[in-house]
Structure 1
């Protein structure tokens, strides 16, 4: 799946100066892209975790505290209501083409946070905070329709 998304996104990424993957610059580029990807994935996971938590609370208040299923994603038990709401949220996510919005946000991340082999100078923390704000903004934009629907 990751390779397929990479093949889809690669033509839209601007050309970057070559960097040796075994150098410090190559490692920093790898670390930068890893942090951006993890932040985007974490932002989407927060949305689904919120729906699962709401399902747990609803299930407990309805008296379904003992009606649980094994959830392989969280490696724990979750209530039937939580599982149901998770599946409904996933169906809404796919039916409304939000997965395409996620790929679009991934493509836009390369223009708002360009790949750079240049070492980050003294403004490292300001640049990381700026990137964090942009990633958070993209995550909120992706999550708003799902939160509104759920």
Structure 2
């Protein structure tokens, strides 16, 4: 291999590695936040690519020489990164789903705010839980595990994978699991407020002269905040469970893609 061919091979490999990391950073929480400038995200992807390049180049992956096949491989690498980033994003989706249920029960449905992480409209309690979970993940260096999980993808899905993910039932189960975990996370507050609604209904039925509905909404909000405050000490364990579950989903994706 001549010097020009060697240089072309290294540049081509660098672009392929960068494509996968850029796809992941585009969707993953923390890395893909709206407040992070695109140039910073691209610089982060390029910096990580420089670090992991020697590890991946040692495997001598096969890279097509022709232009059109090479473009197809770049698109496949971006797809791999997007799929992994989407799996990591499900952690945020679970927290936002739980916040939506809590907002509905507390009466905050009409007060949805702009999510500072992704710049879209989302429930206020979902915002609170996402920001709190993000701070916990950063404080415990859990984002390092996300980078390690992404690096592990090359052991199961090498550069220029020969196949695309075909187990579509996995993604249907993933959506089902996201809804299930959202309901489980919101159930303590949602259930307590539901019981209070039943009590208010019984009280209004027993004493119809009492205009209970004029004071029920502020009382529900205060009661919901009290329960939320009492549940905060257990929030760290919930985020840990969600993070471990998310990592297991990523591993199942790798194993299914390799088959």
TM-score, scaled relative to structure 2: 0.44
Which structure has the higher relative contact order (CA within 8 Å, separation 6+)?
Answer: 1
Gaps of 5+ in 1: 134-143
Q: Give 4+ residue runs of structure 1 displaced > 4 Å after superposition.
A: 72-75
User: Which residue of 240, 243, 246 maps to 1:145?
Assistant: 240
Deviation at 1:67, TM superposition (A): 3.1
Larger radius of gyration: 2
Give 1:1-150 correspondences, 5 Å limit. Answer: 1-13=44-56, 14-20=59-65, 22-24=67-69, 26-71=70-115, 75-116=119-160, 120=162, 124=163, 128-129=165-166, 145=240, 147=242
Contact conserved, 2:77 with 2:160, CA < 8 A, in 1?
A: no
**Which segment drifts farther, 104-113 or 65-74?**
65-74
**Partner deviation per Cα, 1:84-138 (whole Å, 9 max, x = no partner):** 1010111122223221111111111112111148xx4xxx4xx6337xx7xxxxx
Deviation at 1:83, TM superposition (A): 0.9
Q: Number of matched residues?
A: 132
CA–CA separation in structure 2 for the residues paired with 1:21 and 1:9: 25
Gaps of 5+ in 2: 1-43, 171-238, 245-259
TM-score, scaled relative to structure 1: 0.70
CA RMSD in angstroms, aligned pairs only: 3.1
Contact conserved, 1:92 with 1:146, CA < 8 A, in 2?
A: no
